[in-house]
Chain A
Amino acid sequence: MNDRLRAVSGQIIAVAVALLMGAIIILMVGESPVRVFMTLLRGAFGDQAKIAGTLLQTTPILICGVAACVGLRGGMFNVGIEGQLFLGGFAAAWVGFAFPLPAGIHMLAALALAIVAGAAWVAIPAYFRARYNTNEVVSTILSNYVAVLLTSYFTIFLFKRPGGWSETPPILPTAYLPGIFDFSRLNGGLVIGLVLAIGAALVFRYTSWGYGVTMVGSAPKFAEYGGVNVKRQGFLVLLLSGAVGGLAGGVETLGVHHRFMEGFAPGFGFDGLIAALLANGSPVATIFTALFFGALRNGSLLLEVDTGASREIITVIQALIILSVSAQVLVRRRGDSQAGERRWKF
């Protein structure tokens, strides 16, 4: 408990340090830090619409973050969430516009295909990782590029909405994710994200399977010795991670855009990965890191309108926060020797 308290207060100090550095930068570009931070706060939580907007921004980061957590738990570094998100988004849209189905079933079918698409996209890297120990970081990074280009190809060459922009035809309302408020686009995706995060935490903590997977991630030889099928669980975990990544894309298309747009959501995969890493791989903690990123992002949208500061300033501050928080994590494990730790276990 005491440890945790120290850790949390450490994080807060780290954020404060980053904000201070941010304030200096803001001063340097000739704006008032107070005004900028107040605007940020107003933009993130100013009224119910702003709060809803923040939650809307949080949703994809959260789901991608859970995807990353699932992989990290099993010792798999899924850097390909971005690509899975794009394919999942496209797959959901495709079901949404091409196959008229009854309400409810339509949405579930679309989400299901998004999940399948995400999992399928990571299946080959996962297979090679499990079977031949092929580094999954490399293969998933590379497959991101292919996924984004591929969805662009599908969208523009095969399924383009006639006369329109580079986007698919709109999906049918039967496939929409239900909204939560009528004043916001916030939708059931948030609930899906929260359920996933808490569900993942429970599964990892309270099931035999989750225990096995956790052991595969933290001590693979031990797990193997204990009778856990390390290769199969590794494959499964990466597949699940990809599935959640695909779901993130499906949620975006069905919940917000109601069509697939070429290049619609760059960077969510990486945001999610960072959120998960800052949360130390804990899905529940990822809820908070994702919310933090979502608030920063939504706040920064108002910032650009209400002050002279540009959104890039926020990008810079966000990076500073990540950097100082990441260093903070380390203060806890300062030790005598640098040698003992394996630096990276890819």
Chain B
Amino acid sequence: MRNLLRHHLFWPVAALVALLVANTVASPSFLAITVRDGHLFGAPIDILRMTAPLLLVALGMTLVIATRGIDLSVGAVVAVSGAVALSYIASSSDPESPVTVLTAIALALVLCLLLGVWNGFLVSVLGIQPIIATLILMTAGRGVAMLITGGMITTVNSAPFKVLGSGFWLGLPVAAVIAFGVFAVVAFVVRRTALGMLLEATGINPAASRLSGVRSKTLTWTVYAAAGLFAGLAGLLISADTMAADANNAGLFIELDAILAVVIGGTALSGGKFNLSGTLVGALVIATLERTVTVVGISPLVTPLFMALVVIAVTLLQSPRMRARLAAATRGPATTTTPPEPQSAARPDSTEVKAR
């Protein structure tokens, strides 16, 4: 019990479970999964599909945050990606052909990769602060997306493209398979190679890393490029979901959701140690939260209040102070007379200094 409580994913997972319970109470069949035409259906499957784009964006965001950066432009990149792909499909003579669709996807992904490279250039070469560097693309990117679609919502009918949004593979939604697959691959690469450690070193102490021979600039650059690419992929999933490219609203505020997912997952925004499994849980929490609002039937007027309270609850429970309290409480009175100093490995800047 004690170890469980101490685990860094305890509270995020607890939040997820609590939300699922709340949903099940409001709608008893919530967790039911049915099989229809060999596909799985049901709210949990919906949630997996809803999580997919957010998970991709949060994945890129985690890596960027590890290097002490932040990427505000992902929402705009999502919009650009959808706009490019759908405009290409819409303007092609044969929207139903897989070749067209693959070309559209490749086009969108390459462009988004370039947008990421652009961000990386501003941050790592010109040395502009990440928040401002990516604010530029956040503003202009949506303009570009609107330019591509002429401000209208571009709609297409293309079965191969629709597969991305509502297709199934091995009974699971294709979008979820793609996102969770990419996530697993990246997590594997990052943790099985030295990439993760080098990223963390760059985030914790850039000067020391540079002197240790870490190619910090290249790494930083790569990470922004990756964030762009993943956002592009997310953009494709989002536009395939409704088969429409909405330059104004696609991916709106997804950067905030992604950052929130990263933070709920226990990665500090100050860079350094990151936690991809936490990000996964964080993304699931946020997607479930969105669903909860509808299922539990919270009035739109208080929805933001409700979101705020959940976020505050999760973050407060995760805070070192609360952890220490709870740890002390679960440890029981018998062991020591004076409560030992809380060890807060979770906060990089606070271990040496006790704030009382």
Tell whether A pairs with B. no
